[in-house]
Structure formats: structure tokens, C-alpha cells
Structure 1
Amino acid sequence: MAMVRAKKNIVSLVRELKPRKDTSRIEVMILRLWRNYNKESGNTIEMVVVDKEGTRIHASVGEQLIKKFDDKLREGDAIVLQLFKVYDATGEYRTTPHPYKIGFFHTTFVGIADDFSSAVPEKYFADFSDILGGNLDHSCLVDVVGQIVNFGSLENKIIKGKDSMRLLVELRDPNNVKMMCTLWGSYAKQVYDYSRSNMSTMIICVIRFCSVKEWKGSYSISSGYNSTHILLNTTLDFIEEFKASLPDDSLALTNNDSSQWSVGTATSIRARFFVLNERLTIGEIIDSSVVGTFVTLGTIETIDTERGWQYLSCKYHNKKVMPTTNVDADDQPLFFCNTCDKEHSDVISRFKLIANVKDDSGEANFLLFDANAQAIVRHSAAELYDENEDEDFLPEAVSDLFGKRVLFEISVDADNIKGKSSQYVVRLATDDREMVEEFADLPPKSNPVLMLESADDISSGSGGFTATPLSKRKSEQDDDSYLEDQHSVNKKLSQKKLKGE
């Protein structure tokens, strides 16, 4: 009788796997590995593996095979897999969008893949706008990368009778889009401790396998499942490029009390002006000794034209480019981009407005970068820029801001407090008439601003403040029902040590 032999030398790609074929051979890296238990299948080893193209697929080892394969499978190892089952991937919170998953046989071969590259393409990062717009398939977990710009207090929540730590974190992307993230369990504690210890640095957070959550029409992301993996200031190849693409606004990391945050609405404009941040007058901002984020209402008096209202930036990195004396083949001027480390003509105009803003208590200079300036100018800088125009000329759409009342969310950093900078970076701006009028009608604050005792507190980054919200969120009962939806106690939290610390 003829024998059927496996074609050992033919390596399939993950995208080529089909249920009809159980003799496939693949070379993959174990991206994530964890133990799981449920009543139906008992104890299992669960994995997500990735091939050289960056394509992922889920794999499972049944309870009866754990002893056979346990010592052959380690997270981060590159392995050869052959003779395995390929079957439909179904259910909620799938780790990959691949239509199939892998199951181990008793005869499955596991070997070492000696030539597997240590770096694979990143194909699964979700765009913040797609998440917040509800455009993604919520049955699949996603990856995100963002800068931590704000984090709350570490809270203990009782979910279905069990204690669990919770931390709310605000992330932003290169387009200055901000999104709320809820972290649970050991990750909540570790991210909180790391952020508190690194207040003066830029913290880039990579979250693999997080879930997209919806609450009353608002979207956020959450950890809480065994597969979730978080890296802080990791050395992955794409991180430096991501940092370079962030707005060049030196945004300070802030730590606000999150006891009044509403997960579903914390990223909304209204929540940031009426719930999350302390309200100060411009005079109080100038006198503040607190590093943090505050909101205020003021009237734009003038725009500084001496420093210009726009700058030319690289289309790919948002960074300012330097003029050169060279031109390209089409006689277009070339500019040098430090991030690209080359000359090119792919540049675009972006806003950089220094607005003198005034209220009854004083006046200050507020610095608005591209996205926040666009929100009140109603035009992009590229639409208004004319290279032949006098540099002191202000486009009409910009000069129309004079006399306009605007709500500002601004950062006060150590340089502001020490007098090294007289400009306050704007994190959010709106001239929405109803919000402006409501904010203006708020009663005077009764609580004074918390003051730091010494300049040492500023330089060490230990200074923070407890926000004094001006409105209450939904009832605690509604909040807890949402938390139960966020965090299933049937799925144990990952206890693996946080990498990247």
C-alpha cells in the first residue's frame, strides 16, 4: 500500500491555510501564549502565532495534549508547525480576523525555525478614528499604539463579587485624536506605577489584543482578557517613527483623579470641559504652581504675526522642514526633513497660532497647533497658505478669530511654572455657542487650586492635582453595569510581567 508523505520542504503561509488540508507546514513566531480554562474544554494552551508576512492565526492545545507540548511552546519563540487541524474560528473576542484557527493533534510536529526573522510586519494596528467611529468588527480584538497623555487614579472595583483594579488612561495618536482606554487587574497597577514614575517623559503604549467597547453610542478600548499584552516605551522598530509623527507640542503627561470619569463619554468634548478637568481663569492659570490640564474661557485678542501663523511640514511626519537652495526635476523647491533625513518637495502648510487670549482676570498666550486651530478657523492651513503672500499677512479666516470667545483645554507644564515659557499649549479648543454660554454661566469655584510646596516637586514630575469636576456623571449603578460588561470574570486576567518597563 502506498504511503502518504508530508512534503516537509514546502512551507505554507498562514493566509494559505484551509480546513481541507491537515498536513500543512508553517513557520511562525509565538506572539502571545497563555493558559485558559472554561467548563466546556477544560484547561487549554492558547496562542496567537504570526508568520513572516505578519499574518496571525489563533492556535489551541487541548487539555489532554498539554503535557506533551507544554515544554515545546514558549512566547517569543520561532517554531515550525506541521500536521495540525484547521477549523472555523467563531465566537466573540476572536484574537485575529483570520477565518480559521489551528488545533493540535497528538501527532503535530513542533520544531525550531532557525531562519525566522525577528521582525515581522505590523498589520493589525487600528486607527483611532475607526474605533471611535464604530467602524470596526467588535468580535475581533485589535492592536493600538498611542501616547499616554492622561491617566486616572487606581481604583478597586467589585465586579460580580470579585475585586479587580481598574485604571482609565487617555491615549492620543499622530492626528491628535484622543481615546479612552480601560485597563484591568495587574496591567492597571503596572501601567499606573510606570506612568507615575515617568511623568516627565513621553510614554508610548502598545496594546495588543484589546477589545473595542461601546457604551451609549461612545466607543473606547479595554483590556481584561488573557490575550491582552501591553508594552511601554518598547524598542520595537516602528516606535521611533510613531514618536516622530506625533504633534510637536511637548504635551505634558497628566495624572487626574478619575473617580468622576465616565468611560463612555470621557473622550467627548463636553466631558473634557465640564467633567474631567479643573476650571481656572486665565489669571489662575498664570499663577498656578500645578503641572496639569485645565479648562478656561477667554476672548482671542490678537494673533502673533511676528512668529508666523503657519509652518511648512513634512507630509509624512508633521515635523517642520528646513528650506534649501535646491530644486527638483520640476523646478519645485526642495526642503530638508530631519525625520526622513533627506530633501524632498512633499510638504504641506500646518497651523501654529500664538493667540493672545484675555478674560477679566488677565491675559496669556495660547499656542494652537494644526488640529485645534482648524477646529475654530474652519479651514486647513493648506487652504489658506499662499507662498507669494507677505509673511505678516493674516488670512481673513484667521483674523476673524479676533474678538471670538473660545473654550480652551490647556496644559500647564514645568516650564510655564518656572517662567521658562510664557506660552500654554492648547490641547482642545471649541467655539460652540451653547457650550461657551453654559461654561460662562457656571458659578464661581469654591475650591482653591492645589499648590506645590517646592520647585523640587515640579522638576521631579511628582506634582499633580485632583480634578474638581463641575458636573456628576451617570449613577454608580449604571456605571457598575457597564463595568460588568467591560470585564468578564470568566476570563482570567493575564498575570505575565509587563514588558517594556
Structure 2
Amino acid sequence: MQDVYGKPGIKNMELVIMDEQSSKMQATVRMALVNGFKQKLQEGSAVTLSRYSLGEIQPKYRMVNRPLRLSFLSNTIIEPCGDFTGSVFGFDFRPFNTITGLQQEEDGQFDVIGHVVASEDLDNYDKNGRSGKKKPLTLADKAGNELRCTLWGDYAQQFSDFVDKCANRGKILLIMQFCMMKIWDGRMGVQNGYNGTKLFLFNGNESIPKEEFMDVELYRLSYFSAQDEAKSENTASRISTQSKHSTRDEFLNKLHVKNIVELLDVDQGKASVIVGTIIAIHEEEGWWYLGCRKCNKKVIKESQFVDLEGDSKPKFGYQGTPDQWKCTKCDKIVTGIKTEFRLQIRVQDESGTISLSLFNDDVQALVGRSAYQLCDKYGCKLLKLVILLEKKGFDDLDESVLLDWLNVNVGDHDESQKVLNGVKNKILKAETLINQLRAMGHEITDDYLVDLNFFSED
């Protein structure tokens, strides 16, 4: 059950109702009726409904992939039901292989159950002026199929809190009810959908005695009975309990601010903050590469791979062809590759200049587009435009001219306006951080010469 908010306040309330045969249907309470019905509709309670309407209009926030939805009327009658014999949750778990094989996202939400075999750090991110939490996971089913799962917001924090208290991190069983599909880097995964998703977490070493989780207990017994302790320990090592700091926290509290000239005295591997201006992009060194999906390192054609220490000729993969991709770090043939950013730039502050490499996440945060999207649609033009705008600001530039250029090189007017608004938000965020650093006593000047020749006048 979740409220859907419009700008003035609650727009309507969306519910999922279930009968004794575990058949589900989405229901809607319009804004004018929410206050009258909200106290009678509690999650987990059993009620009887009468005097309602059914319609084929699909709700904007679809949670159940069914053609009909139930709408509450002003005279709808809600009464308690004391003899409901159906399931409490009505889990209907979708097999992983019916998700991972899809190329397009499907509407509607569904349930998944799986063993958490890997998780990344809890990411406390700042994006377009908003802060949030993100926790990427990998789930496995009984057949060994893996599924990428991303938890956002309170769900990410719920998982991290559970892991901190769990005695056996190698046997965490996860249920996500009413999750939704999301494709990222060409791979289909799942994530929590709006606030209606329910997240259940269990220690696989402990029995689940509650009757409403009987089917989950049977799954737990069948899954972990065949898993040895060595495999469990290996899984536990892939469950991260670390937390990434937000950009603002790192810049203001966690790292030391340095001038470029002072970086010579900083120990190797120690992170620092510099405040400077990008004065050049080294396009001749390339700005993207094809990377391994597992480790993000560069992949090359096997025919181009040279073993300097080996005496024998290169042996090609099982297909006997030199056209397979090989990871330079994993030293294996890879079946999945992705386009990654690697941008060489020159940065200047009042003390000097320095060459830096920006990798995938950094560049993507700057331009708001993936490397694949830029390669496929825009090339390096959008990269240059964003950096130019972040250096010069909007005071001296005619937005109508920029929008005309974006309409030609990026897409339609709405998409172009999104690009422009995104850059504005990034500039505002950068200016806010710089002003906060100055307020903390750091001497940061911006009255040095900036060379704009790398971006042609047109």
C-alpha cells in the first residue's frame, strides 16, 4: 500500500489486494476519498469490499500486470473479515532465467527469491542536489543463475543493517516482493519499485518457523542443504559491509584540500581534493574503451594479445578464432563487454597544471550519459560542451543558441533541456562546495588564466 504524491500533496493511494486463491489486483483510492478510507485500510488486514467499480484504465504506477483495476467509490463499504483463510503474502516467485534473458523492460511488478552471493559497498550518493543510498547485490537461484539486484533508499539501509547483525553473511536469503525490472549496461536486473516493495531477509543457517513463510522455509532447506561450508565462506567474503561517503562529505570532511603543486608531497595512494579548471581534453589519446564486465579493465582481441614471457604461439579460445575478446587483467576470454569512459584532461589552478585521468563513474557523473550513449549518439561533442559550460558558466552564454545546438546534436527539445538543466545543477553543486571550502578557511582563487582554445568557436 503506498501513497502517490502530486505537487500539492497526496494525489491518490495505490493498493494491491489479494483473495483467498492468492490472485492479486491493483486498487486505487482517489485523492478526495483517501482521508475517509485510509484508517480502514491497513496492510495485512482482511476485509470485505462491496460497491466498487472495475475499469480497464491502466494505473500510472502499475504494480500488478493485470488488465483490470478496482476503484473505490464514495459509497464503497469496507468491513472486517474474520474468517480469511488465504495466504498472508501470496508470494509468486519469478524464475531468474525469465528475467535475465529479456532485452526490454516489462511493466508490472513481481516477486523474486535468491541467495545473496555478492554485494558492493553501500553508496551514499549525491546526484543533482539530492542525496540517497544505493546497494548493488548479486542473487543466485537453485539452478545457479545469477541476477543483478539494486536496492535504493531505505531498502539499501535495511540490507546493510541486517548484514551488520547477521552471524553468517555467506547464507543470506533475500525476498523482494513487488520488485521491478531495470536494464543497465545492456543487462536486465531488478530493483525496488517505488515504496510498495517489501524486502524480507533471512539467515540461511536458521529455520523460519512462522507459518506464513512455510514456502520460504522449504526453499531454504532445499537450497542450503547442498551447499558446503567452503562455498559459504567464499560467498561471505564477497558481501561488503563498507559504506561510501557522499561527495559532499568527502570534499568537506574526509579529505585534505591541496594545491596542484602540493600533490608532489602527497604519499602515493592517498586521496586529496584539488579545485581547478579543466583547460584541455586530450582527444588523441581516446576517451573511451571496451572493458570487461567483471573487473572493468580493458579487453583486446585475442589475436592482438602478446605474451612477452611465452615461447609458444598464442592459443585461441574454444571456438578457435582470434576474434574473441580477452581481458588484460583476468587473462581470460570474456563473453560480456561494455563501453567505459577513460578521459585524459589537463587541469589548472593558481599554482600550476596537472594531467588527470577520469574514469567511467567520474565522467558519467559529469555529463549525465553513459559512454555507450555518447559513442552511439553524440561522440565527444557533448563532453566538450559540458566542460565549456562548467568553466564559463551561463552568464555570458545565450541559452537559445545552446538549445539550437543541442537540438541538432543531442535530440529533441525536451532531451536538450534536460542536458542543459543537468549541467546547471552540476555547476550549482560545484559552486556550493567551493564556497563551503572557502568558508572553512581554504584559500581557493579563480582569477587565473584559462585557455579555451581546445573548444572551437563554433
TM-score (structure 1 length as normaliser)? 0.46
After superposition, the C-alpha distances for 1:241-273 in whole angstroms (9 at most, x for unaligned) are: 2123325244232324697xxxxxxxxx94335
User: Could you say which residue in structure 2 is the equivalent of 1:57?
Assistant: 25
2:53 is the alignment partner of 1:165: no
TM-superposed deviation, 1:125 = 1.9
What is the CA–CA distance in structure 2 between the aligned matches of 1:137 and 1:245, rounded to whole Å?
31
What is the CA–CA distance in structure 2 between the aligned matches of 1:122 and 1:65, rounded to whole Å?
27
Once the two structures are superposed, the pairs formed by residues 106-255 of structure 1 within 5 Å of their partners are 106-119=74-87, 122=90, 124-134=92-102, 138-198=106-166, 200-201=168-169, 202-233=171-202, 235=210, 236-246=213-223, 247-249=226-228, 250-251=231-232, 252-253=235-236, 254-255=238-239
Aligned letter for 1:215?
W
Name the one with the larger helix percent.
2
Aligned letter for 1:198?
C
Give structure 1 regions of 4+ aligned residues with deviation exceeding 6 angstroms. Answer: none
TM-score (structure 2 length as normaliser)? 0.50
User: Could you say which residue in structure 1 is the equivalent of 2:293?
Assistant: 271
What is the CA–CA distance in structure 2 between the aligned matches of 1:158 and 1:255, rounded to whole Å?
23
Q: Secondary structure at the match of 1:192?
A: helix
> Please, which runs of 5 or more residues in structure 1 have no aligned partner?
1-32, 260-268, 276-403, 407-431, 442-470, 486-501
> Please, which runs of 5 or more residues in structure 2 have no aligned partner?
203-207, 245-290, 298-314, 318-322, 333-357, 371-417, 419-458
What is the CA–CA distance in structure 2 between the aligned matches of 1:224 and 1:480, rounded to whole Å?
22
Q: Please, which of 432, 439, 442 is the counterpart of residue 330 of structure 2?
A: 439
Name the one with the larger strand percent.
1
Task: Percent identity, please.
Answer: 24
- 1:479/1:112 Cα in 2 relative to 1: closer, same or farther (>3 Å)? farther
After superposition, the C-alpha distances for 1:10-65 in whole angstroms (9 at most, x for unaligned) are: xxxxxxxxxxxxxxxxxxxxxxx122212599432221111111111111111221
After superposition, the C-alpha distances for 1:128-180 in whole angstroms (9 at most, x for unaligned) are: 11111117762111211111122221112233421111111111111111111
Q: Which has the higher contact order (CA 8 A, sep 6+)?
A: 1
What is the CA–CA distance in structure 2 between the aligned matches of 1:143 and 1:198, rounded to whole Å?
23
Aligned letter for 2:239?
N
Q: Please, which of 42, 46, 65 is the counterpart of residue 74 of structure 1?
A: 42
Q: Secondary structure at the match of 1:176?
A: coil
- Give the superposed CA RMSD: 3.5
After superposition, the C-alpha distances for 1:436-463 in whole angstroms (9 at most, x for unaligned) are: 776349xxxxxxxxxxxxxxxxxxxxxx
After superposition, the C-alpha distances for 1:210-269 in whole angstroms (9 at most, x for unaligned) are: 11011242111111512111111274111122123325244232324697xxxxxxxxx9
Question: Contact between 2:105 and 2:182, CA under 8 Å: does it hold in 1?
Answer: no
Q: Secondary structure at the match of 1:70?
A: helix
Q: How many residues align?
A: 261
Question: Contact between 2:91 and 2:111, CA under 8 Å: does it hold in 1?
Answer: no
User: Could you say which residue in structure 1 is the equivalent of 2:286?
Assistant: none
